[in-house]
Structure 1
């Protein structure tokens, strides 16, 4: 089995999941007829919880495959760091905001969503870099 190719493939699946959810599903759901902000946020909470789980599994599997290549496995570190900040810092705060809106409160303006989107772009760039590293090993 070519573990570098496996790691690269897992990163490609991860890229696809992030693009599909963060850049397609998330903005489009609010354009659907009948979708209110609270309903869209409720759906988004479920979808992003599932995405977080999927990203974590993909990271662990890609790291396990990449581990056979020693220092090359460090190519996953930038994407892992962004994911960690999103999971531990941004998503809990965004989730709290969403719950407040769902319950009828109007929170003050925030840049959390912009920071999250910047993180998604950085994570995608990091994953493309990891694919390049692992692809060069296969």
Structure 2
């Protein structure tokens, strides 16, 4: 089960890196992409990413717990799941409310909420690396 949990972990890591740190910032640099279009695309992409992340998070937890992993592996596996839960329960709803306002035509200053989301993403990446490394070391 360690191999499967490791594979799922690294797929999850790859998706977060590709979407959050590559696609998200680059889409606003594309010619003709307005803030409203970029936000609309971002909401769709991140909704899909978070859905897939939720499935991958559940898979990692099931594989680790039912794989009879030691406590340190379980602790590492819980970390990115908890970070994802925090993003989905607290950060994303705030960002969605703000993007609703921008999409409705309000002119708002830059949001610090995105910095919070990025901090969660960085922490999640580090936690996923920790899970993967711990699983590989077993």
TM-score category by the smaller chain?
over 0.9
Structure 2 length as normaliser, TM-score? 0.93
User: Are the equivalent residues in 2 in contact too, given 1:15–1:124 (CA < 8 A)?
Assistant: yes
Alignment gaps of 5+ in structure 1? none
Q: Match of 2:90, SS?
A: helix
1:75 shift after superposition:
1.7
**Runs of 4+ more than 2 Å apart:** 69-74, 106-110
Matches of residues 54-69 of structure 1 in structure 2 within 5 Å? 54-67=52-65, 68-69=67-68
**Number of aligned positions between the proteins:** 135
Alignment gaps of 5+ in structure 2? none
Q: Distance in 2 between the 1:43 and 1:110 partners?
A: 18
| 2:22 matches 1:14 | no
Q: Distance in 2 between the 1:109 and 1:131 partners?
A: 35
Q: Match of 2:68, SS?
A: helix
CA-based RMSD: 1.1
Matches of residues 41-60 of structure 1 in structure 2 within 5 Å? 41-60=39-58
Structure 1 length as normaliser, TM-score? 0.93
